[in-house]
């Protein structure tokens, strides 16, 4: 059994993306978006996503709608929906997210968005199959 104090895990991770746990049907990931940074405009065709914000402020852009986000905000992104999360504040925007099914390689760690983008472009950030 894995056990996390998820807010503590999210807050102590300086990494853009860190996969904490991957199961057959879902995945737990923590993210830290630096000031002025963003996840980037994306669509997960076959994956639902729930994002919970731990600290910082930002904007969620989902299906053409914009909502301000802050600590304790949650955003649900259904599969096939275009979305982006942007840090609009002076401090890191920290969150944890659940993907169902998994979206990233098990135990993947990407220190920066550029590193994450490069891994995805190289096909090195594929979720487990089977």
Residue 128 included in any domain:
no
Q: How far apart are CA 22 and CA 93, in angstroms?
A: 23
Q: With a threshold of 0.95, does the pTM exceed it? A: no
Q: State residue 121 phi and psi, 5-degree precision.
A: -65, -35
Mean pLDDT of the 98-115 span: 94
Closest by alpha carbon to 31, among 20, 42, 23? 20
Encoding tokens for residue 49?
Answer: 């996503």
Share of the chain above pLDDT 70, in %: 98
> Which range marks the domain in which residue 45 is found?
6-121
Mean pLDDT of the 96-110 span: 95
Number of domains the chain contains:
1
Question: If DSSP codes are grouped into helix, strand and coil, which group holds residue 41?
Answer: coil
Residue 127 included in any domain:
no
Is residue 58 within 8 Å of residue 86, measured between CB atoms?
yes
Tell me the per-residue pLDDT of 5-52, one tens digit each, with 9 for 90 and over. Answer: 999 999 999 999 999 999 999 999 999 999 999 999 999 999 999 999
| Cα–Cα separations (whole angstroms), residue 97 to 22, 71, 111, 122 | 12, 14, 17, 23
Q: State residue 29 phi and psi, 5-degree precision.
A: -135, 140
Residue 1 included in any domain:
no
> The domain spanning residue 40 has which CATH number?
2.60.120.10
Transcribe 84-115 into DSSP letters: EEEE-SSS-EEEEEEEES--S-TT-EESSHHH
Confidence of residue 130 (pLDDT cuts 50, 70, 90): low
Residue 115 included in any domain:
yes
């Amino acid at each position: 059994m894995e056990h996390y104090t998820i807010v503590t895990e999210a807050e102590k991770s300086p990494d853009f993306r860190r996969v904490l746990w991957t199961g057959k049907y879902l995945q737990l990931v923590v993210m830290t978006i630096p000031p002025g940074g963003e996840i980037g405009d994306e669509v997960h065709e076959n994956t639902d996503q729930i994002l919970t914000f731990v600290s910082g402020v930002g904007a969620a852009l989902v299906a053409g709608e914009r909502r301000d986000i802050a600590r304790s905000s949650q955003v649900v992104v259904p599969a096939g929906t275009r979305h982006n999360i942007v840090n609009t504040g002076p401090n890191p925007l920290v969150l944890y997210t659940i993907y169902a099914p998994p979206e990233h390689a098990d135990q993947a760690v990407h220190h920066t968005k550029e590193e994450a983008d490069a891994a995805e472009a190289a096909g090195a950030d594929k979720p487990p199959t089977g």
